[in-house]
């Protein structure tokens, strides 16, 4: 499998599609590169004006009172800056950040140990907090509310719970699936920041900053070209920048101009809207083979030689968000924008039902974050 192919399996949880150019998830190597590009202060953090402003107030207020701020939940799709913001919270407060993740906390004892090791005012960052095991979650309730944990000593009927005081701390939770959090957990966060997709102009600022950190010469039209194809996601923008830089160094004079970006992204199969080969194959099948739909997702998946859940979870969220595809009760339907984007003349009898109206027809189970 070439490094730009998508995974061929139906396994779409966890390390999903991290090799593919427009995947919102990061691969292992990419995490290392990313840490070099992370903003370190709220001032450096681009976009998300609402969340950033609110968070600034929360942190400033806490600093003035000399107390740790409320617990913070950051929610939103992958690659929008949740981890970056969590680390920024620590650096703005001048405290240390202990990092873990929901799936890494296997036993509640592990979490109890971690909590009792926190220093006064430390930040505990739990990534993917929706995946935390139930017993650990229950332990967290008391820790968040009363800065206490119950340590169970002994086993069976003779076991006793000894309450242990812990230092006041701030929990920062990040989740891509806020809908999966239980009510009691969500309620214990004093501040919830909902991350939104970025505007192209904001992505251009992200790109300019990354280019200067990487020592890449990037022109305005070059960054506009990359920003427009980055699906509103800084992680994708940074990744495309790195790929275009390689191309610029090998095939041109190293400068990332509009023409260089266009040629490079054509080579990597990322089109003007940020669709890749599979996204386009899905739309093309829908339009050319099924007359624009409605067609069931499994039929569509067979037509492009993919697993239904890859089509459903990898391609569709962005196609829906980009207004190219609608999920209707009768099946998937291509919108007018999809016909136009693929360069197909619109069908004479008009579009199938659902092709013109978007959000109302969407039946996806997860909340879709609008661009
Ligand atoms: N507002 C921003 N300004 C500058 N760079 C950003 C911003 N947001 C994200 N980035 C860049 O995008 C990359 C991904 O961000 P980050 O890891 O914080 O996303 P995330 O929301 O935690 O993703 P995931 O859900 O996969 O954990 C980082 O390397 C960072 O450099
Ligand atoms: Mg993260």
Encode pLDDT of 281-298 as tens digits. 999 999 999 999 899 999
Which one is catalytic: 235, 243, 245, 280?
A: 235
Structure confidence at residue 361 (pLDDT): 44
Any known ligand binding at 235? Answer: yes
Q: How far apart are CA 278 and CA 311, in angstroms?
A: 9
Q: What is the mean pLDDT of residues 211-231?
A: 97
Cα of 160 vs centre of ligand 2, distance in Å, is 37
Which one is catalytic: 170, 175, 176, 257?
A: 176
Q: What is the mean pLDDT of residues 298-305?
A: 94
Encode pLDDT of 25-66 as tens digits. 888 888 888 888 999 999 999 999 999 999 999 999 999 999
Q: What is the mean pLDDT of the chain?
A: 88
Structure confidence at residue 31 (pLDDT): 84
- Ligand 1 in contact with 77 (CB < 6 A)? no
Q: How far apart are CA 339 and CA 137, in angstroms?
A: 47
What is the SS3 assignment for 338?
Answer: helix
Structure confidence at residue 30 (pLDDT): 84
User: Looking at the CA of 79, which ligand is closest?
Assistant: 1
100 included as an active-site residue: no
| Radius of gyration, CA atoms only, the chain | 23
31 included as an active-site residue: no
Q: How far apart are CA 101 and CA 110, in angstroms?
A: 12
Q: What fold is seen in the domain 198-267? A: Helicase, Ruva Protein; domain 3 (1.10.8)
Q: Say what the pTM is.
A: 0.86
Q: CATH code for 45-194?
A: 3.40.50.300
Options 1.20.1250.20, 1.10.645.10, 1.10.10.10, 1.10.3720.10; CATH for 277-361 is: 1.10.10.10
Query: In the chain, count of helices (H) and strands (E)?
Result: 15, 9
Q: How far apart are CA 337 and CA 186, in angstroms?
A: 38
Encode pLDDT of 105-147 as tens digits. 988 889 999 999 999 999 999 999 999 999 999 999 999 999 9
pLDDT band at 16; cut points 50, 70, 90: very low
Burial of 197 (0-12, 13-18, 19+ CB in 10 A): buried
8 Å CB contact between 65 and 32: no
Q: Which of 213, 222, 173 is nearest to 193 (CA)?
A: 173
Q: How far apart are CA 283 and CA 344, in angstroms?
A: 11
Structure confidence at residue 355 (pLDDT): 62
Please provide the distance, in angstroms rounded to a whole number, between the alpha carbons at the two ends of the chain.
32
Structure confidence at residue 33 (pLDDT): 83
In the chain, what are the domain boundaries?
Answer: 45-194, 198-267, 277-361
What is the SS3 assignment for 35?
Answer: helix
Q: Which of 198, 268, 262 is nearest to 234 (CA)?
A: 198
Token couple for 200? 């192209």
Any known ligand binding at 243? Answer: no
Q: What is the mean pLDDT of residues 319-348?
A: 92
């Amino acid at each position: 499998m070439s490094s730009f192919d998508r995974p061929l399996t139906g396994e779409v949880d966890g390390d999903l599609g991290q090799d593919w150019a427009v995947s919102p998830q990061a691969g292992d190597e990419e995490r290392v590169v990313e840490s070099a590009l992370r903003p370190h202060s709220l001032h450096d953090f681009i976009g998300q004006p609402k969340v950033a402003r609110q968070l600034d107030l929360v942190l400033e207020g806490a600093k003035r009172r000399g107390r740790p701020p409320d617990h913070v939940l950051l929610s939103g799709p992958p690659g929008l800056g949740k981890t970056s913001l969590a680390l920024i919270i620590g650096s703005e407060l001048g405290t240390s950040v202990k990092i873990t993740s929901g799936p890494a906390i296997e036993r509640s004892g592990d979490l109890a140990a971690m909590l009792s090791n926190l220093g006064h005012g430390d930040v505990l960052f739990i990534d993917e907090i929706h995946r935390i095991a139930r017993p650990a979650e229950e332990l967290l309730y008391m820790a968040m509310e009363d800065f206490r944990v119950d340590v169970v000593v002994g086993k069976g009927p003779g076991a006793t719970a000894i309450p242990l005081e812990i230092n006041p701390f701030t929990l920062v939770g990040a989740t891509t699936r806020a809908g999966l959090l239980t009510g009691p957990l969500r309620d214990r966060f004093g501040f919830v920041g909902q991350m939104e997709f970025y505007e192209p102009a904001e992505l251009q600022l992200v790109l300019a900053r990354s280019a200067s950190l990487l020592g890449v010469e990037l022109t305005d039209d070059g960054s506009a070209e990359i920003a427009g194809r980055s699906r509103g996601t800084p992680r994708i923008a940074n990744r495309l920048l790195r790929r275009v830089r390689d191309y610029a160094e090998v095939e041109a004079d190293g400068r990332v101009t509009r023409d260089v970006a266009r040629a490079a992204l054509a080579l990597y199969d990322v089109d003007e809207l940020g669709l890749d080969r599979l996204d386009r194959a899905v739309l093309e099948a829908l339009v050319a083979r099924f007359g624009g739909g409605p067609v069931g997702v499994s039929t569509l998946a067979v037509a492009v030689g993919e697993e239904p859940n890859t089509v459903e979870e990898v391609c569709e969220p962005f196609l829906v968000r980009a207004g190219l595809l609608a999920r209707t009760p009768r099946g998937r339907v291509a919108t007018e924008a999809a016909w136009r984007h693929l360069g197909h003349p619109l069908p004479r009898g008009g579009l199938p039902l659902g092709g013109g109206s978007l959000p109302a027809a969407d039946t996806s189970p997860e909340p879709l974050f609008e661009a």
